[in-house]
A and B are shown apart, each in its own frame.
Chain A
Amino acid sequence: MSMHDSPNSRKISYLLAIREALQEEMRRDPAVVLFGEDVVRHGGGFGVSKNLWEEFGDRQVRNTPISENCMAGMALGAAMTGCRPVVEFMFMDFAALAIDQICNEAAKISYMYGGQASAPLVYRCPQGGLSMKSAGAHHSQSLEAWFTHIPGLKVVFPSTPYDAKGLLKTAIRDQNPVVFIEHKALYSLEGPVPDGEYVIPFGEADVKMAGSRATIVASGFMLHLALQAAEMLAKEGLDVEVIDPRSLKPLDEECIFGSVRKTHRAVLVQEACRTGGVAAEWGMRIEEECFDWLDAPVERVAGQDVPIPYARSLESRVWPTLDGIVQAVKKVCYFK
């Protein structure tokens, strides 16, 4: 359903949309519990869970010690025994401490144990730079590709308040571990969200802007840069299609392939550093399935292969830019 013309739409922030999803799911099902560092009075790292403890108490909202690996594994144990935990990592970077429990344990429980168990849980991971400027190497990374690589995990990455709320509700109801990525620069972004109940299925991309000359695929904050690029390109006569995969795993290949077969050109954008990222995976799949339709080599716009630096001059140099996306589209269109 399109939200832009719904009579019941309100405008709320991405942050509030996430909080509403948590609140509604915790009301609907007392098995839904929230674990995280400072999630009680502080509302978590960015205030997402503010006021939830006041409503749900210790039974459903718990502050944890700074023990990311144990927190991730505790959620697994709770998920295997009747709870539906949501874990907040204060920063996605800190999930590195929990890779064992997320990737070795939670992701493999269903498979290793031959379907005896499932792990219905959500890892909420605020990631990316561009909002907290100069947060540096340990508070700015984009790490979605670490998790899309692991069989057994689902990975979603909303870019709008509407998508954030609908996808988080789906994540909480899913029987599998879901890495739910929130982009820190989007928390204050406002957008239309209906009053009533809705969910967004995984594996359904969203065409955020329709066009015919080239396809841009982008998630999170990059989606918004891509939309800006598309608007600029439209003024120069290039009308571009912008696709938001929304769920990175499962990936809506048909939507991406359909668009590329129509436009014959693809620009893939990721904020994460270049090597081994999701754009490489998208590009390979396009090569495998759409090669005969391509009129130009696929272009990738990505972060530099360096740790995120502190100094503003360096920091702004390593992230993908609006101009980088514009130039990449012009390149695949052989547009002078």
Chain B
Amino acid sequence: MHEIRFFEETAGNLYRRGLLKGGVHACIGQEAAEVGISAHLRTDDFITSTHRGHGHHLAKGADPKRLMAELLGKETGYCKGRGGSMHVAAFEVGSLGAFPIVGAGVPSAVGAGFSIQQQGTDQVVVAYFGDGALGQGTVYEGMNLASIWKLPVIFACENNHYAVSSMMEDMVALKDIPAFAASLGFCGRRVNGQEILEVYQAAGEAVERARSGGGPTLLFLDTYRFEGHYFGEPEGYRSREEVQKARTEIDPIALFRAQLMESKVLTLEKAQEIEQAARATVAEALVFAETSPEPDPEEYGRFVYA
């Protein structure tokens, strides 16, 4: 979680210094949802991600160096600078990519689930999407298909409460997650996405179900994004007080650290050590990315066709 947090903060600094172009969407505040799920995933399991996807990738084991290099549009990035922050993928660790068209990764997750079923392995797929994607028919289509074919797909809806400026409550009529999933023939759970142990427990059950042929699960993770929709967004739709309250009261990293220290699993010293190590990893990634070459402009036509 620290690594994701520092990675995003570093990206924010780069943006403010004008070094990072394009839309960059940070997942600060949402780390527990991603890490709690990925803790159950193997490298050969798949994920599909979103425009807010750095955390999904790092949690799945992506190399921070190559991820940062991609953000900076460098040839050493995962996508050799062709994708950028919003269109990154890391196939070496099972990421089938970030789909920044809202909800558009869900069909690919279902398709990967079909491949797994066809090949008879025990891999699973996690389709990440946000509360805003509940407005997309494609997401329903994907859930319906995964259910009728009993595919090993975990639908992980991170409800950070805002689709850009629109509140989930104003845009999504869906209220009862378990009932919604049950009516589609699978299990659905609403989880406090700020409590990593709660996410871990719910995700563990979902992954186990998918691995053993029990079909899909919907995890609806209540979370909160501490940054705007993208770096530099004016955020006229919510108050500073609301954000500050969230940062103080429901920071998933602070909550987990307090729990671990209270139960004497973690000392302050060890906590600081973990934090420093994560900071060093991200700093190293930044140096790698900054010193990497840009793609050769004459290679603009490479990769259009495989």
Instruction: Show the binding face of A for B, using Cβ within 8 Å.
Output: 33, 59, 62, 64-65, 67, 69-83, 85, 100-101, 104-105, 108-120, 151-152, 154, 175-176
Distance in Å: Cβ of B76 to nearest Cβ of chain A: 10
**A115: which of B99, B114, B138, B303 is its contact (CB, 8 Å)?**
B303
Q: A65-B144, A74-B111, A75-B111 are in contact. Are A116 and B305 (CB under 8 A)?
A: no
Distance in Å: Cβ of B55 to nearest Cβ of chain A: 19
Q: Are A76 and B148 in contact (CB under 8 A)?
A: no
Bound form: Cα–Cα A105–B148 in Å: 24
**A69: which of B87, B111, B138, B149 is its contact (CB, 8 Å)?**
B138
Q: Are B148 and A77 in contact (CB under 8 A)?
A: no
For B264-306 the 0/1 string (1 means CB < 8 A from A) is 0000000000000000000000000000000000000011111
Instruction: Show the binding face of B for A, using Cβ within 8 Å.
Output: 46, 48, 77-83, 87, 89-92, 96-97, 99, 101, 104, 106-116, 118-119, 137-138, 141-142, 144-145, 148-149, 302-306
Q: A67-B144, A114-B77, A114-B82 are in contact. Are A175 and B306 (CB under 8 A)?
A: yes
Distance in Å: Cβ of B191 to nearest Cβ of chain A: 25
Q: Are A73 and B138 in contact (CB under 8 A)?
A: yes
Q: Are A78 and B111 in contact (CB under 8 A)?
A: yes
Q: Are B303 and A105 in contact (CB under 8 A)?
A: no
Chain B residues within an 8 Å CB radius of A176: 305-306
- Residue with the greatest number of chain A CB neighbours at <10 A, chosen from B107, B114, B115, B119: B107
Distance in Å: Cβ of B129 to nearest Cβ of chain A: 13
Q: Are B89 and A116 in contact (CB under 8 A)?
A: yes
Q: Are A100 and B305 in contact (CB under 8 A)?
A: no
Q: Are B114 and A74 in contact (CB under 8 A)?
A: yes
Q: Are A105 and B96 in contact (CB under 8 A)?
A: no
Q: Whose C-beta in chain B lies nearest to the C-beta of A31?
A: B118
**B107: which of A59, A70, A109, A110 is its contact (CB, 8 Å)?**
A70
Q: Are B97 and A73 in contact (CB under 8 A)?
A: no
Q: Whose C-beta in chain B lies nearest to the C-beta of A117?
A: B91
Distance in Å: Cβ of B240 to nearest Cβ of chain A: 36
Given contacts A73-B110, A113-B91, A152-B305, 13 further A-B contacts (CB under 8 A): A69-B138, A73-B104, A73-B108, A74-B142, A77-B48, A77-B114, A82-B119, A111-B303, A116-B90, A117-B97, A118-B306, A151-B304, A152-B304
